[in-house]
Amino acid sequence: MNYEEIMLRAISEAEKYKYTAKPNPVVGAILLKNEEIISEGYHKNYGKNHAEINAIINANRQKNKKFNDFSELTLICTLEPCSHIGKTGSCAHAIVKTGIKKVIIGSIDPNPKVSGKGIQILKENNVQVDVGIHKDLVAKQNKFFFYRHINNKPYITVKIASSLDGKSHYENHERVFVTGDKARLDVQLLRAKYDAILTGTNTLLNDNPRMNARVNFPVNQPEKILMSTSFSFGANTSEMPFFEGKRVTHFQHNDIDCVIPIMLENDKCSILIEAGPKLTNAFLKTNYVDELIIYKSQKKLGKTGISWFKEDNAVENYGFKLESSYKIGTDLKEIYKKDEEK
Ligand SMILES: NC(=O)c1ccc[n+]([C@@H]2O[C@H](COP(=O)([O-])OP(=O)(O)OC[C@H]3O[C@@H](n4cnc5c(N)ncnc54)[C@H](OP(=O)(O)O)[C@@H]3O)[C@@H](O)[C@H]2O)c1
């Protein structure tokens, strides 16, 4: 196998951990002696060992069997080894310490804390470094991570379920499933991809939602964010499923401009907004939203339904263009992106 093939293997194996490594990027690392794979390592869980460290640990088990000294090995890793001491040690220093003499990197890390610095540590310690094999694939598989560091903001998606006549819910808040089972299942998968889910007072109080990702595979569950001035924690709060599991961040103000930088500081690369028409429209009016997903049902809610959009603030007027549209069960999933991104 050549380096390109090995890089592709590391990228595709790393992909298996995209729901558990987030908000960290998925990373794969493979140690080779000539053409033979000696060991592999992946960043499997957020806060746990990085891929390079796992590859080194696994290689140590083969030492004096398949190889004698790390200087015989070449390390292939999908993303630049980190230079900073975060939750785990610096991978660049760990690589140097083993005596590995050649490292092939897919993409430079877009995180300014690391970008180029990991490579510098390796080069300063006489490690030969090559960069760029399948760098676009590495960026693509870590879309939210790259987006966050390049744009200095989380990737923000607004998701709504709409009736055929453009309504969100009934004015008397009678519980209604706007969309069918398959679309609701798709929402669970969508939630699993995001680092946080954000909602507002009325959705919390009227729907009493869980807002977690109910999927049949392991997930680092999205954190929950509540924007509400009127809600206060009381005796009933502990019985509300929204407050079960992951920590809830409660912003006791309505200022979206303040929420975004705090989420960035909290390592959130992606946020899914799941709220009613008031908070949804407030977000769409800002320049923060990158994507809008509408699950559109065949069902009408009629005159007593509350509209998502007033006539003059249709999605197109917010600067969104339809990118794709396909059927999910009986419903339609429409994905809109900001015009300039197309
Ligand atoms: N069909 C769907 O996909 C879907 C999804 C979610 C919800 N819903 C429905 O939507 C209904 C609620 O909709 P809604 O529009 O009345 O409420 P909402 O958007 O869920 O919440 C609005 C509240 O959020 C708080 N808020 C915080 N920051 C805000 C900001 N910048 N702009 C606006 N509000 C902000 C305010 O409460 P404070 O005054 O406390 O600050 C505001 O009254 C629910 O009954 C639910 O059934 C439908």
Q: What does the H/E/C string look like for 125-144? A: CCCEEEECCCHHHHHHHCHH
Q: Is residue 3 predicted with pLDDT exceeding 90?
A: yes
On average, the pLDDT of the chain sits at 94
282 lines ligand 1 (CB under 6 A): yes
Q: What is the mean pLDDT of residues 257-281?
A: 95
Q: Which of 13, 40, 52, 291 is catalytic?
A: 52
Give residues with Cβ within 8 angstroms of 261, minimum separation 6: none
Q: What is the C-alpha to C-alpha distance for residues 230 and 223, in angstroms, rounded to an integer?
A: 21
Given the structure tokens 């460290």, which residue do they identify?
Answer: 53
Q: What is the torsional sign of CA 292, 298, 302, 305?
A: negative
In terms of residues, how long is the chain? 342
- Residue 159 CA: nearest ligand 1 atom is 3
Q: What is the DSSP letter of 190?
A: H
Active site residue 40: no
Residue 173 alpha carbon to ligand 1 centre in Å: 12
Taking 80 as the threshold, does the pLDDT of residue 313 lie above it?
Answer: no
Element (H, E) at 57: helix 51-60
Per-residue pLDDT tens for 188-219? 999 999 999 999 999 999 999 999 999 999 99
Cβ–ligand 1 distance for 305 under 6 Å, the answer no
Determine the pLDDT at residue 312: 72
Residue to mutate (ligand 1; options 156, 158, 169, 301; most atoms within 8 A of CB): 169
Q: Copy the structure tokens of residue 340.
A: 């300039």
Please report the beta strands in 120-240, taking only residues with DSSP state E, as ranges in sequence order: 128-131, 155-162, 167-170, 196-200, 223-227
C-beta of residue 249 within 8 angstroms of C-beta of residue 264: no
Which helix (H) or strand (E) segment holds residue 149: the answer is: helix 143-151
Question: What element of type H or E holds 124?
Answer: helix 117-124
What is the model's pLDDT at position 95?
Answer: 97
168 Cβ closer than 6 Å to some ligand 1 atom: yes
Rg, Å, the chain Cα set: 23
Cα of 52 from ligand 1 centre, angstroms: 44
110: preceding bond cis by omega (within 30 degrees): no
Q: Report how far ligand 1's centroid is from the alpha carbon of 167 (Å).
A: 14
Residue 103: CB within 6 Å of ligand 1? no
Distance 275 CA to ligand 1 centre (A): 5
Q: What is the pLDDT of residue 86?
A: 63
Orientation angle between helical segments 91-98 and 117-124, nearest 10 degrees: 20
Of 107, 97, 94, which is closest to residue 146 (Cα–Cα)?
107
Taking the centre of ligand 1 as the mean of its atom positions, its distance from the CA of residue 197, in whole angstroms, is 14
Per-residue model confidence (pLDDT) at position 340: 67
221 CB under 6 A from ligand 1?
no
